[in-house]
């Protein structure tokens, strides 16, 4: 095995820079025994790569070839099959399981032990060793053959070094001199031993010859030691002199340190003085402005504002530790406190007088704006108050109590001013609304808050047009007032009293939100009467005419949408949103009122019904609503109202038709659903498309029903005769044999036909025309439609009779006394005569 190992190392692994550490002769388990070798190798170059190589003897010669190699890091498990008994079988788990049978158990154990050591030394990989004796997994391996194969190789992994070219050449030369070295190793070893003894003797003689030189070297060392002692004495002298210099330098260094400390202290003292002078000094001009500055002129306000800001900066300076104990600092702080109190008192008194004066302002009364119906503008007052914005911010940060007192004063007097103006404004608006309505009543009659759909169509149309114009003007005036008041509120509030001043609005999101919340609270107090007055005006408009709610819903929705676009949480958005809820409630009440009136409608028992008033009323409502809601934001509310109204119209038309005594039910249904269908087709209301189709279907159904019921059986006896013929055919009698039946013979047929000459038929149709004319109303103009439908039905019956005669009485020559052309002339002449 040793010879094979050396041969494999030389022929296969050395050319690939690899060293063979362990080898085992194996064959595959369960197959024909084709022997091969498994070799554990490492590379000679770093990083070291550890492999398991399968080597097989070539079939063509006696040399070996490398067949397959696996990286040791890919090995997952080693299974020795039995840890207690000798068993040459073992498995290696790479990408798949390879099963081997070793030539001997000792070779297998040696190979597995080498694999374990290589794994521990190079890979640190926890390969699972199964059924392996614990003795094999130890650092030391017993001597013997396994020691020569694998045990010693672990230490040789690092100590082994290949021969270089020169060493190989020397060995070859030596072996050429001793040709018998290979055949007689003992003689070669003895020759080498004798040469080694000769070399040792030569070395000893060389050492003895150098004793004289050693004595000379010792003498030189003694002289060097003497020189060292001399130099050491000189160094001690130098050290004493340096010690004196060191002490002097220490004194100088200490003096410099004290000077440096003094300079540092002076510099710091100067910085402190400059800090106090820079941040705690208020100019005489600022002091004079705070004590005596004019708070009524623009220049004086500007000077006071600058002085107040400078004072606030001085008072808010963060003093350093110990400053508050200086008497000068205490005096300056006392001065700042006195100036703050004096100026805060002066500012509070002045602004209090300004607010009182503005609260009693009568320079712009509502009487001057009656023609255009707008609130008086207070722009000059707002502009004057803008100058005090920064001073109010200063007052809030320095004197909170005075600031809140001014807030209450401002709210109190502004509330009185705006409440008076808003009340006067809405009183005039109500007077105008009531006056316009009275004019409408005198000209067209009362429309009423209930919105009752009664009276003639022309009268309702005129009333609708007049009411629409009046309400449109009133709603526009109302919302113009809303815009004016909102603008006034916004300017008045922001310019007069922003609660924290305009200067802080842009600092942080939190401060902005706080400002807006405070502003809204103030506006709620000052303008609390707006919502009440708006609701009062809306209630008046709804009382005068419930259709006013349509205009108000559209206009108010638009203004709410506009306000929410700017700021959804603003005072105007909130106020108009609350009012919009009231308007929407009135709109819903208006729709409910219309439905209730439909349910309560009563018809006359003595006159024909015609087009019901709530049907024409729905048409007028739809025309008015489409005009108002064109491009409106609340179109969805109208669509929902349409759905409720049209459903009520359908239900109550059927109800009235069922209760009608003078007019047939089919006529009431036909005429009213025809009118509904025409209205919806003309107006093209998308959300009522399904109802439009339903109305058309009901109209056509009841038209057909009325035609059939009114026409009945104009040739009654002839009808009964042919009904009997059809009954016989249904019982199984052949059509051509019906004439053999006694009751249905040709003679009986001729007798029946003679009873219906053309003159009698025309007379019956004329009576039918008069009857239909009495049933139908003039407004819908359906007489000719109904008459034409009756003509078609009569002709259908005639053709049916003719077909039965041709099939049941073939070749008899029996015909009616009048033709289809005669019938067309009868119907045409009757229609023209009436």
Q: Per-residue pLDDT tens for 243-301?
A: 888 888 888 888 888 889 989 888 888 888 888 888 788 889 999 999 999 998 989 99
For tokens 């609350």, name the residue. 578
Cα dist from 574 to 272, 523, 524, 584, 636, whole Å = 56, 11, 10, 15, 22
Residue 804 above 60 pLDDT?
yes
Tell me: pLDDT of 140 over 90: no
pLDDT band at 348 (very low <50, low <70, confident <90, very high): very high
> Between β-strands 77-79 and 89-93, what pairing exists: parallel, antiparallel or unpaired?
antiparallel
Using alpha carbons, select from 64, 52, 70 the residue that is nearest to residue 112.
52
Residue 205 has pLDDT above 80, yes or no: no
Q: Which DSSP symbol is given to 40?
A: E
Q: How far apart are CA 410 and CA 404, in angstroms?
A: 10
pLDDT digits (tens, 9 = 90+) for 710-761: 776 667 788 888 889 889 999 998 988 888 888 888 888 888 888 888 888 8
Higher pLDDT, 331 or 139: 331
> Is the predicted pLDDT of residue 7 greater than 90, yes or no?
no
Nearest to 675 by CA among 660, 656, 653, 659: 653
CB atoms within 10 A of CB 677: 20
pLDDT exceeds 50 at position 315: yes
Rounded average pLDDT over 485-489:
46
Q: What is the rounded CA–CA span in Å between residue 116 and residue 129?
A: 8
Residue 779 confidence (pLDDT): 76
Question: Residue 316 and residue 310: Cα distance in Å, rounded?
Answer: 10
For Cα atoms 154, 19, 115, give the angle at the middle one, nearest 5 degrees: 50
Residue 24: what pLDDT? 93
**What's the mean pLDDT in 342-355?**
91
Backbone phi, psi, residue 320, to 5°: -80, 160
Phi-psi region of 320 (alpha: psi -120 to 50; beta: other; left: phi over 0): beta
pLDDT > 70 fraction of the chain, expressed in percent and rounded: 82
- Provide the pLDDT for residue 461: 42
What pLDDT was estimated at residue 689? Answer: 92
In contact, 397 and 312? CB cutoff 8 Å:
yes
CA gap 624, 594 in Å, rounded:
14
Is residue 484 predicted with pLDDT exceeding 70?
no
Query: Rounded to whole angstroms, how far apart are CA atoms 435 and 363?
Result: 29
At residue 305 the predicted structure's pLDDT band, cuts being 50, 70 and 90, is very high
- CA–CA separation, 594 and 587 (whole Å): 11
Q: What digits encode the pLDDT tens for the residues 71-86?
A: 988 898 999 988 888 8
575-578 contact pairs (CB < 8 A, 24+): 575/527, 575/530, 575/531, 575/534, 576/482, 578/531
Question: Do residues 72 and 118 make contact, with C-beta atoms less than 8 angstroms apart?
Answer: yes
- Residue 790: pLDDT band (50, 70, 90) is confident
More confident residue, 217 or 687: 687
Task: Identify which of 99-108, 324-333, 417-426 has the greatest average pLDDT.
Answer: 99-108
The predicted structure's pLDDT at residue 184: 64
pLDDT band at 345 (very low <50, low <70, confident <90, very high): very high
Mean pLDDT calculated for residue range 414-426 = 85
pLDDT number for residue 365: 55
- Does residue 482 contact residue 376 with C-beta atoms inside 8 Å? no
What is the share, in percent, of the chain residues with pLDDT greater than 90? 15
The pLDDT assigned to 499 comes to: 38
Assess whether pLDDT exceeds 70 at residue 498.
Answer: no
Least confident of 173-187, 342-356, 622-636: 173-187
Which positions ≥6 away from 348 have C-beta within 8 Å? 395, 399, 402, 405, 406
What average pLDDT does range 189-208 have in this prediction? 75
* Helix or strand run (H / E) with residue 330: helix 327-359
Grouping H, G, I as helix, E, B as strand and the rest as coil, residue 357 is helix
């Amino acid at each position: 095995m040793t010879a094979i190992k050396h041969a494999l190392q030389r022929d296969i692994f050395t050319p690939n820079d690899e060293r063979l550490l362990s080898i085992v002769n194996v064959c595959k388990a369960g197959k024909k025994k084709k022997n091969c070798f498994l070799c554990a190798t490492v590379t000679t170059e770093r990083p070291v790569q550890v492999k398991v190589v399968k080597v097989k003897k070539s079939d063509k010669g006696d040399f070996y070839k490398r067949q397959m190699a696996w990286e040791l890091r890919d090995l997952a498990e080693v299974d020795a099959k039995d840890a207690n008994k000798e068993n040459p079988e073992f498995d290696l788990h790479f990408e798949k399981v390879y099963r081997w049978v070793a030539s001997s158990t000792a070779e297998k154990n040696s190979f597995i032990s080498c694999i374990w050591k290589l794994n521990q030394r190079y890979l640190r990989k926890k390969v699972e060793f199964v059924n392996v004796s614990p003795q094999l997994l130890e650092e030391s391996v017993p001597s013997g053959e396994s020691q020569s194969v694998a045990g010693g190789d672990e230490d040789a992994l690092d100590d082994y070094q290949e021969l270089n070219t020169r060493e190989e050449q020397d060995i070859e030369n030596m072996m050429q001199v001793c040709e018998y070295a290979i055949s007689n190793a003992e003689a070669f070893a003895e020759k080498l031993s004798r040469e080694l003894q000769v070399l040792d003797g030569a070395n000893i003689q060389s050492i003895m010859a150098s004793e004289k030189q050693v004595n000379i070297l010792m003498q030189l060392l003694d002289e060097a030691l003497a020189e060292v002692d001399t130099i050491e004495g000189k160094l001690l002298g130098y050290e004493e002199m340096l010690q004196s210099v060191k002490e002097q330098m220490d004194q100088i260094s200490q003096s410099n340190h004290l000077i440096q400390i003094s300079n540092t202290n002076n510099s710091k003292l100067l910085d402190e003085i400059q800090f106090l002078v820079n941040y705690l000094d208020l100019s005489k001009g600022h002091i004079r402005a705070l004590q005596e500055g004019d708070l009524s002129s623009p220049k004086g306000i500007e000077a006071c504002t600058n002085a107040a800001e400078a004072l606030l900066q001085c008072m808010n300076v963060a003093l350093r530790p110990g400053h508050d104990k200086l008497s000068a600092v205490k005096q300056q702080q006392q001065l700042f406190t006195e100036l703050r109190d004096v100026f805060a008192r002066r500012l509070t008194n002045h602004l209090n007088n300004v607010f009182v004066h503005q609260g009693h302002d009568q320079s712009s009364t509502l009487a001057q704006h009656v023609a255009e119906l707008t609130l008086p503008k207070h722009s000059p007052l707002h502009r004057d108050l803008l100058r005090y914005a920064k001073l109010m911010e200063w007052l809030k940060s320095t004197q909170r109590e005075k600031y809140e007192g001014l807030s209450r004063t401002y709210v109190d007097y502004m509330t009185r001013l705006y409440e008076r103006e808003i009340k006067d404004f809405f009183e005039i608006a109500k007077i105008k609304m009531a006056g316009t309505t009275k004019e409408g009543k005198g000209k067209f009659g009362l429309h009423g808050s209930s919105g009752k759909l009664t009276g003639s169509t022309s009268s309702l149309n005129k009333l609708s047009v007049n009411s629409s114009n009046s309400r449109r003007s009133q709603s526009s005036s109302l919302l113009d007032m809303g815009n004016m008041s909102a603008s006034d509120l916004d300017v008045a509030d922001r310019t007069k009293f922003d609660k924290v001043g305009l200067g802080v609005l842009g600092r942080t999101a939190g401060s902005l939100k706080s400002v807006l919340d405070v502003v809204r609270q103030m506006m709620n107090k000052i303008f609390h009467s707006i919502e009440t007055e708006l609701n009062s005006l809306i209630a008046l408009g709804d009382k005068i005419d419930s259709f006013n709610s349509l205009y108000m819903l559209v206009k108010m929705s638009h203004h709410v949408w506009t306000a929410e676009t700017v700021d959804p949480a603003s005072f105007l958005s909130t106020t108009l949103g609350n009012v919009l809820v009231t308007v929407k409630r009135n709109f819903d009440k208006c729709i409910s009122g219309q439905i209730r009136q439909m349910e309560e409608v009563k018809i006359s028992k003595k006159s024909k019904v015609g087009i019901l008033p709530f049907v024409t009323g729905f048409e007028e409502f739809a025309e008015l609503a489409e005009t108002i809601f064109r491009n409106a934001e609340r179109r969805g509310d109208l669509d929902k109202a349409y759905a409720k109204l049209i459903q009520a119209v359908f239900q109550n038309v059927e109800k009235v038709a069922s209760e009608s005594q003078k007019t047939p039910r089919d006529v009431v249904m036909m005429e009213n659903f025809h009118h509904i269908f025409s209205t919806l087709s003309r107006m093209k209301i998308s959300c009522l498309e399904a109802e439009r189709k339903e109305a058309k279907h009901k109209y056509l159904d009841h038209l057909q029903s009325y035609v059939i019921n009114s026409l009945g059986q104009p040739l009654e006896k002839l009808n009964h005769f042919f009904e009997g013929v059809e009954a016989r055919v249904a019982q199984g009698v052949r059509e051509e044999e019906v004439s053999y039946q006694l009751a249905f013979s040709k003679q009986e047929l001729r007798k029946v036909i003679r009873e219906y000459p053309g003159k009698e038929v025309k007379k019956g149709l004329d009576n039918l025309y008069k009857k239909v004319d009495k049933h139908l109303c003039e407004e819908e103009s359906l007489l000719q439609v109904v008459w034409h439908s009756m003509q078609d039905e009569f002709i259908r019956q005639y053709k049916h009779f003719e077909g039965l005669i041709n099939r049941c009485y073939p070749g008899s020559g029996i015909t009616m006394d009048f033709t289809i052309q005669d019938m067309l002339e009868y119907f045409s002449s009757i229609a023209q005569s009436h």
